[in-house]
Structure 1
Amino acid sequence: MAINHNQTWNLQERLQKYPGYRAEHTTLFANRQVIDYNLETGISNPVGTAYALRCDYDEDEKATDKLMQLQQDPQVDKLEALVIGTWEGEMAGGSSSFLIEALVGAKDWFPSLKALFIGDIHYSECEISWIVQSDISPILEAYPNLEILQIRGGDGLAFTPFVGHKNLKALIVETGGLSSATIAQICALDLPTLQHLELWLGSDNYGGNSSIADLNPILVERKFPNLIYLGLRNSEYSDDIAEAVVRSPLLNTIRILDLSMGTLSDAGAELLLKNPVVQQLDTFNIAENYLSDEILAFVEEQQANFPVQIIIDGQKKDEYEDEEYRYCSVAE
């Protein structure tokens, strides 16, 4: 099967550098500018703007209180994109379960919601590995028109019971450690229209205990056959992923392959760069890995000869105190 260039994918924002490095919130979500919801000004652009609910440190109000205020806005039924940041003034150990319950309970107020981001939280508010998530499946069941779901934080993250969703096009899971159990739950979801799957696999030190075998439903069984973008990012086993990707039938149909923020070496990169199918992709993102100056020079020299756009910025050094050491970009 040839690469389908007629399918649309418009989440270029996902190729930008992670704003959490700079202790910043996202400024762009679902191709919409993100602004904090203000009770006084209300919703002025329910379609073209993503509104964010956040709690300041030590604030008494919770995100659920702010959600109730948002529900009273006269344009809430037209709102298409919602971002949830810190859901409590003190995040330590506080799970998102009460927030999920409130969002499910508020579903009738948000009939137009297409994009939801739960966990726009940077490290100065709460380290990514300290964000305690919960079962997200009730969100998929409550919001049948949802097209983009983004979650940050892997601790406690679950997708049970296994549900189907006919309209979800993008599932983005950002973690410092994604468990093999959660990956299995994601792969058990019935998402027939999914075009964008992005998993930050993370570090074994923070719950990222997966291996290449856990990705077989995606790479070998083609559980999500309509993918345009595949992101297996922030991984400690990027070379294993590279070996599996070049053998995967999925490579013949996706247009964007994103292995950034990981531990990809020259060996893994060469395997991919010399593959003629990879060369025909639209975009190949291998930024923030462990590529040598020789590989980077080769890419720069050959870029004009490759149809694919190759992103290679921000390479890391693999030596720490004279010892070889490779790490994924986002862990704790």
Structure 2
Amino acid sequence: MDLPVMPPVKPMLAKPVKKIPPDMQYEAKWDGFRAIVFRDGAETELGSRTGKPLTRYFPELVAALTACLPERCVLDGEIVIARDGHLDFDALTERIHPAESRVKLLAERTPASFVAFDLLALGDDAYVDRPLTERRSALVEALSGAVPPVHVAPATTDPELAADWFRTYEGAGLDGVIAKPLDLRYRQNERLMFKIKHERTADAVVAGYRFHKSGPIVGSLLLGLYDEAGALQHVGVCAAFSMRRREELVAELEPLRLGADEEHPWAAWAEESAHESARLPGAPSRWSGKKDLSWVPLRPERVVEVAYDHMENGARFRHTAQFRRWRPDRAPESCTYAQLEEPVRYDLAEVLGG
């Protein structure tokens, strides 16, 4: 492979802002695997955000990209999987599997798509030092003949349309809106774009905590919500405390630590089979590797208000939740899934056809 831009490439990033900024190019924020595609003739490679290859996990996508893309090019975009008109991140994570037979099976059952939103190289020319407007125009022209599962991300310079996308596209599983300065050059691993994400709040039960990697202080709080059957389900974690606050939380939560004779709703967390029927902390994962997933169980008596962007399959917080305040006025049993706001359903096909 011999291209003007060679792997590995660390993609350009975005920093969070509260409002959609004016006078920019706007795109939907996709919830998938960021990927850099390198094609040189018969060779097509997929690079991840960290630079590690993704090629072997998406053979059906490699074949589609080789068929659709220009002979020699480098693209930035997102690998996604859709089910019933909605992005499915769980199905995407299942694709990262060591067994070739499993990868082949999943490629048939849950085929992936690629949504291109930037052009880094075409033919013998690198485009990284050209402004976004020029890169976008070249991208649209280069992929004019592309067919599903290869797509060009919809883009607009109309902030009102971007605001409409922000409201409606969440119903298809998208994550918000990305804003890009029109004269922006492509700079690897730099936060030069802007992301506007959904934020909601929920009251959750604190049912345990994990220690911080630096020592015996709180790393993250384990959060739970009660389902319709009255079972406490693990829905994610709350983190991002200062080091001083992490130390204080150990003493603050000490009265809630379970005694040796007390039972915890998530007592079976270490048993792999238990995760099949309940959402528990510490589920086996190819992503966690040898990471210590043990935790300190607490009596589920304390309620915290957290901010979150959206739920994954309606079951858990997609990303780490942010602490807002303690809620001593709330009973733990009142912290149910019923409080969560569900976005109006929107068909992903309408997004990709926009």
Q: TM-score, normalised by structure 1?
A: 0.30
Q: Which structure shows the bigger proportion of residues in strand conformation?
A: 2
Q: Which structure shows the bigger proportion of residues in helix conformation?
A: 1
The structure number with the bigger radius of gyration is 2
